[in-house]
Amino acid sequence: MNKSHLKSNKTIPYLWGGLFLGVSLVVALMSFFYEIHSARSAVEQYVGIWEDDIARAKIFQGDPTLQNKILQQLKQVHQAVMVTEVQAPERLQCLFSTDVPITYNSLPAGSVRICFAGAELFLKSLLSPVFVVGILLALLFLGFGVRREFLSRLHEQQLQAELALNKELSAMSRQVAHDIRGPLTALTTLSQLSHEMSVEKKELLELAVARIRGIADDLLKKGRSENPQVVPSVPAQGPDLSMVINSLLKEYRFSHPDVEFVWHNHISSQKAVVPLEALKLQRVISNLLNNSLEARPENEAAIHITLLERQSHWLVQIMDNGGGIPEKVLPTLTQEGVSYGKEQGHGLGLYDARKTMESIGGELQLRSRQGIGTQVVLLFPKSVETLSQSS
């Protein structure tokens, strides 16, 4: 975090504090002028009731006792009333005042000037509903702004943490890719020099070496990128689904001789080309096969892989005869970090498979029944080349 960023973080509270003070000042002025208006209305209404008595005393210069009593009661009408003048209202000068016209028998009889105490008006304005409601609204606005700023800062910190994690993953990817090169070279040499090895085992070794080399290249590619999670562009010409599945089945049949792997290829096309990198396709199928193996029963374990062709996509179905998955758990299994029935499950296999399928416009469907088994359906969109050949 640079110095300018730290400086901006320090100035933000002052900005919000200044904004709150400004809003409070505006609310206080509005409340003050409201109190002036309220005081004027109150005394005008009171004088209007007694204007005949006030006018009679002024015109005829009679006994002013009643008039003085009436004017003295103005203090009770509003506490801010300070001084009043009837005989010569123009001589009375004050900052806050009002002139109330009086009549006698519908004829003008002058006016009454009433002065208000500014301090009393200001104190009353601070206790008025206008000021209280205004301050509450200002506090709500301030709270909303501070909360929004806090969430923005929190989001920024999360982005910085993710960036730091991505850089660490990039460095780790480069290191792992570098470390794999040594044993990978040894395995490559072994596959070339091992003359006593059977053709089948040699082919399996070469396939395993090719997969490890592909993983190393992919790790190195991600390590060079600033963000290891960036999805690469879809290749113009992808791998053949049936060829990839067949090569994987050779490995799994050799590694798990106790499991029956049944391959059903029901397509009429020579190739089932998909718009996905071969390494990613291998990872998706391999993760699903590993899930089926982990759920297999102790006896007569069988995994059926079926490839079907539809008008605009290829359909791959992987079905096992394991214990199945509860219905309430099933919808969450393709989310990151969610696993079921595995002591050391990380919840990455199905999540990665779903994200990979969605990145090419495909789909992953999951169905299961407890005691019967689980079925995973992958819908791969056909590549442009395949669609043009079929049309």
Domain C-terminal end among 197, 224, 251:
224
Range 332-356 average pLDDT: 79
Range 244-260 average pLDDT: 88
CA atoms within 13 A on the CB side of 129: 1
**CATH number for the domain that contains residue 275:** 3.30.565.10
Above 60 in pLDDT, residue 336?
A: yes
Amino acid (one-letter) located at 35: E
Query: What's the confidence (pLDDT) of residue 380?
Result: 95
Same domain, 64 and 10: yes
Dig out the tokens for 99 from the structure.
Answer: 């002139």
Domain C-terminal end among 127, 162, 192:
127
> What does the pLDDT look like over 111-166, one tens digit per residue?
888 888 888 888 888 887 777 787 787 778 777 777 887 788 888 888 888 888 77
Mean pLDDT of the chain: 79
| Predicted TM-score of the model (pTM) | 0.51
**Parallel, antiparallel or unpaired: strands 313-320 and 302-309:** antiparallel
Above 60 in pLDDT, residue 228?
A: no
Same domain, 275 and 364: yes
Q: What residues make up the domain containing 369?
A: 241-390
3-state secondary structure 39-94: HHHHHHHHHHHHHHHHHHHHHHCCCCHHHHHHHHCHHHHCCCEEEEECCCHHHCCC
Q: Are 27 and 131 in contact (CB under 8 A)?
A: yes
Residue 360 within any structural domain of the chain:
yes
Residue 252 to residue 255: CA distance in whole angstroms? 5
**Parallel, antiparallel or unpaired: strands 81-85 and 363-369:** unpaired
Burial (CB < 10 A; 0-12, 13-18, 19+), residue 276, is: buried
Amino acid (one-letter) located at 156: E
Phi, psi of 104 (to 5 degrees): -135, 120
Above 50 in pLDDT, residue 231?
A: no
Indicate the number of domains in the chain: 3
Residue 138 within any structural domain of the chain:
no
Residue 233 within any structural domain of the chain:
no
Domain C-terminal end among 194, 224, 254:
224
Q: How far is CA 243 from the centre of its chain?
A: 42
Above 60 in pLDDT, residue 197?
A: yes
Same domain, 245 and 379: yes
- Look-up: residue for tokens 């193996």? 293
Confidence of residue 4 (pLDDT cuts 50, 70, 90): very low
Percent of the chain at pLDDT > 70 equals: 75
Range 76-101 average pLDDT: 83
Same domain, 347 and 252: yes
> What does the pLDDT look like over 20-77, one tens digit per residue?
777 778 888 888 888 888 888 888 888 888 888 888 877 776 677 777 788 888 888 8
Amino acid (one-letter) located at 212: I
Burial (CB < 10 A; 0-12, 13-18, 19+), residue 205, is: middle
Same domain, 193 and 303: no
